[in-house]
Structure 1
């Protein structure tokens, strides 16, 4: 029993670490109780896609920042 509780706690923590909200976690667990694995996978895939979108937006911002830094250094070589 304790092993099952430990695994469940680890699963919930993993979902939280992946930035799943309480509603998504509850839905995921409810689907698990009903053995609806396909729907769990769909839920996880949708959340993964949202996270990837965030990564891409952050990468674009980083690229812009790198460009600004590069140009500032290039235009002001003696002031570094």
Structure 2
């Protein structure tokens, strides 16, 4: 088993990464049962969701950049 400080660190890291409470609770159940494959699956899924949001925001920035370019012409 792991010590309390390590568990708290993992939970804090998940919070800092923007994970939901439900996801954190499920992740920690997997963590406690040493289900590494499910932990990795959850992290990859969350990473993909975050990356999708980043790409969407990049599209918004590109639209604004184009508008600024057109206005300056």
Q: TM-score, normalised by structure 2?
A: 0.91
Matched, 1:16 2:19: no
RMSD: 1.3
Q: Which has the higher contact order (CA 8 A, sep 6+)?
A: 2
Q: TM-score, normalised by structure 1?
A: 0.84
* Residue in 2 that maps onto 1:71: 70
Greater C-alpha Rg:
1
In structure 2, runs of 5+ residues without a counterpart are none
Distance (Å, rounded) in 2 between the aligned partners of 1:43 and 1:50: 11
- Superimposed CA distance per residue, residues 3-57 of structure 1 (whole angstroms, 9 cap, x where no aligned partner): x322222211110111100000000000011110000000111111100100010
In structure 1, runs of 5+ residues without a counterpart are 75-80
* Residue in 2 that maps onto 1:29: 28
The runs of at least 4 aligned residues of structure 1 exceeding 3 Å deviation read: none
